[in-house]
Structure 1
Amino acid sequence: MAASSSPYDLWLSDKLLSLNPDCDTDVFVSYISAILDETDTPIEEKKESLGSIIGEVVSQDQDAVCEELIQKWNEFQKQKKNSAEDNTADLGDKLSQILSERKLTVAKERQLTSEELARKEAILAQYSQVSDEEDASRPEESTKKTEAGGDSLVTKNVNKEAVLKAEKEKREKSKQEHEKKKEKDKKDRENQKQKVLDRKDGEKKRTQKGEKRR
């Protein structure tokens, strides 16, 4: 088996060898997995396809073996889905944490600016040196503060757009990879099916040749 084999492929390989030690797992495992992975095929057609393949491995209890293969496939797919959902939830938690930390940082910056302004006003009031020019400077400071807050808001919006764009690109890439995988699986399934047929023809010819010698 290849190093990149899925958990189900590993289980399937052991299962087939337990049923028939002479089973060619490189051919049968890939072919069976490709059949089960086809989402557009009705379950009855999958069972029929599996039955013809399992018939090359065992001569009895073929229906029971097919049912077990399908059941195990569904179990592994459920585990895979749950794992993916957990990873998505973890990503959502991390994004929420980042946004919360950013909001806290902005809040602290605004609070610090207010304290500095209050201290300045207290000093000016203490020495009674508040002039019209200094009074006019306060709206300017308030304007700078508003502009700083506006810059923070723009930055947050840019970051949000970047995250959404990255998620969209990730989904598009995943979709393209899924389509490529389906096409590859389809070609592999056809090639593997032909190998099985060629193998059956070869065995048939050898049997006929042996009977003629007798």
Structure 2
Amino acid sequence: MSSESLPLDFDIYLKETLINLKTDDEIFSPYIKGILEGDESPEDKNEALQGIISEITDSGIEAICEDILKKWSSCSGKNSCNCESQPSLSPASLDIQLAKLMEKQASCIATSLPPIKKPISREQEQLKQAVLAQHAQVSAVCDDGEEEEVEETRSDGLLAKNTNAAAVEQEMRQKREQRKLEHQVKKDKDKAER
């Protein structure tokens, strides 16, 4: 057997063991391997394994834990010469490295691609030109200070002076005048009654 297949042998063994216990191997395998790969003492590993296996089954817990520990020690003992040459990567660190690679690749793709231009229809182009022309004319008129001539110079009615503010101000003046008149009438009436 090659040294690369040894961890695979343990994975297969653990998967078969968990399937025989009628449980989901994809959920429990990472937990069990995490315990086995930890720096704890063999007693602590055995205790943690018993805790997990006791959640799965009620019978033969100690025997199952001993078998798992024996298989792990035999696989890791044969593979110990390669452990120093290859860095151990936990699933979390693999996820982090994968995320970094994906971000780097996405940023490279985003910077290397030219922006996509949508085709513009003739109507959209005409509308754009009309808006630009209006803006240019308004800018020229505002620069000269001849805002009132804008209404007179445009015969097509596309550009008109905003009279909303003036209309509101005029309405406010009329209301004030009306209140003044009403107040004066009331004052005169009160004087006449005394």
TM-score by length of 1: 0.36
TM-score by length of 2: 0.40
Instruction: Give the number of the structure with larger relative contact order, counting CA–CA contacts within 8 Å between residues 6 or more apart.
Output: 1
Pick the structure with greater CA Rg: 2
